[in-house]
Amino acid sequence: MGVLVGSFAQALRDDPTPQKAYAAEPAWFEKDLKKPYIGKVSPYNPINRRTPTVWAQVWDVDSGLDTERTAVFVDGKRLPGQVSSTGIFEQQVTEHLSIGTHQATIKAWDKEGNYSQADWDFEVRGHQIDQAPNQSQRSGLQPRVIVIHATAGNYPYDYQALMGARKVSSHFYVRKSGYIVRMVPDRMSAWHAGKSSFKGISAYGSLNSESLGIEIESRGRGPADYTPAQVEAVAELVNHWQKKYGISDAYVTGHSEITARKSDPKGFPWGTFWGNVTTLRAAAT
Domain identity same for 75 and 198 = no
pLDDT at 167: 94
- pTM here is 0.65
pLDDT for 62 = 52
Q: Are residues 142 and 227 in the same domain?
A: yes
Angle at CA 48, nearest 5°, toward 176 and 211?
Answer: 55
Q: How many CB atoms lie within 10 A of CB 160?
A: 12
- In this structure, are 138 and 116 located in the same domain? no
pLDDT of residue 11: 28
* Same structural domain, 96 and 145: no
Q: Given this model, what pLDDT does residue 93 score?
A: 80
At 238 the pLDDT is 94
Domain final residue, candidates 82, 99, 124: 124
pLDDT of residue 156: 92
Q: Are residues 136 and 106 in the same domain?
A: no
Q: 115 and 220: one domain?
A: no
Residues 153-185 pLDDT 10s: 999 999 999 999 899 999 999 999 888 888 999
Q: Can you give the residue range of the structural domain that contains 12?
A: 3-124
Number of domains in the chain: 2
Smallest CA-to-CA distance from 252 within 238, 266, 263 is with 238
DSSP state of 225: G
Average pLDDT, the chain: 79
Which residue, of 105, 124, 143, is where some domain finishes? 124
Burial code (b: 16+ CB inside 10 Å, e: under 16) for 115-140 equals bbebebebebbbeeeeebebbeebee
Instruction: Note the pLDDT of residue 48.
Output: 41
**According to the model, what pLDDT value does residue 230 have?**
92
Can you list the residues of the chain whose pLDDT is less than 50?
1-48, 60-61
Q: Are residues 139 and 255 in the same domain?
A: yes
Residue 187: which residues within 8 A CB-CB, separation 6 or more? Answer: 138
| Nearest partner of 84 among 105, 104, 106, 57, judged by Cα | 57
Which of 101, 124, 147 is where one domain is finished? 124
